[in-house]
Chain A
Amino acid sequence: DGGITQSPKYLFRKEGQNVTLSCEQNLNHDAMYWYRQDPGQGLRLIYYSQIVNDFQKGDIAEGYSVSREKKESFPLTVTSAQKNPTAFYLCASSIAGGNTIYFGEGSWLTVV
């Protein structure tokens, strides 16, 4: 089935460590996105990419990094510079200029 796969579903990180969240899509979408969601809040855009080898900062990019080496993949690294990384992270994709975004199941990151 076509869709977006995020892994891992749950991740624990020690303070000072970098972690990478995986996102793979087989929908042949050009655009991919990373959002952060805190409890009881809406989604906030971290990074987005409209095409391979290109990406743009969203509203809360500080402390995060991404790469887009393949159309299907858009991994997110949460660096030690992110002061409050505990959150629910959502990867999404869409066709270029499309009106519908498709989301993965999300990844929970907890700093211990």
Chain B
Amino acid sequence: DAKTTQPNSMESNEEEPVHLPCNHSTISGTDYIHWYRQLPSQGPEYVIHGLTSNVNNRMASLAIAEDRKSSTLILHRATLRDAAVYYCILSRDSNYQLIWGAGTKLIIKP
């Protein structure tokens, strides 16, 4: 199963953009890239997903490298409520094949 590599933690200032990197060098052509985030003692929340093209939604943007071996989650203007653990996950056909790593803990400084 393809796996992802993320930094353990990152810090950013409030109201500034945040770029969260994810490496997935063993990704296959049919793997989707998913991002979820989790607040302490809560269930994860869907953020965004994509296959090949860059994606935008109301929460964030997902930039996918041309070779698909890496991707970046972009929060355009971080707020204190964006402080969470962010997970980058690959899926191949179905959600039960998701493999969750330890994620990146995002710290937002006022």
Query: What's the least CB distance linking B91 to chain A, in Å?
Result: 7
- B49 x A41 contact (CB < 8 A): no
Contact residues of A: prevailing secondary structure: strand
- Size range of the interface on B? 20 to 34
> A106 with B95: in contact, given A42-B103, A99-B34, A101-B46 (CB under 8 Å)?
no
- A90 x B103 contact (CB < 8 A): no
- A105 x B96 contact (CB < 8 A): no
Query: Is A48 in the interface zone, CB < 8 Å from B?
Result: yes
- A99 x B87 contact (CB < 8 A): no
Query: What's the least CB distance linking B86 to chain A, in Å?
Result: 11
Q: Which of B38-76 contact A (CB under 8 A)?
A: 41-46, 49
- B49 x A99 contact (CB < 8 A): yes
Other-chain contact of B43, A50, A98, A106 (Cβ < 8 Å):
A106
Query: Is A66 in the interface zone, CB < 8 Å from B?
Result: no
Query: Is B101 in the interface zone, CB < 8 Å from A?
Result: yes
**Which A residues are closer than 8 A to B by beta carbons?**
4, 31, 33, 35, 40-45, 48, 50, 56, 58, 88, 90, 92, 94, 97-106, 108
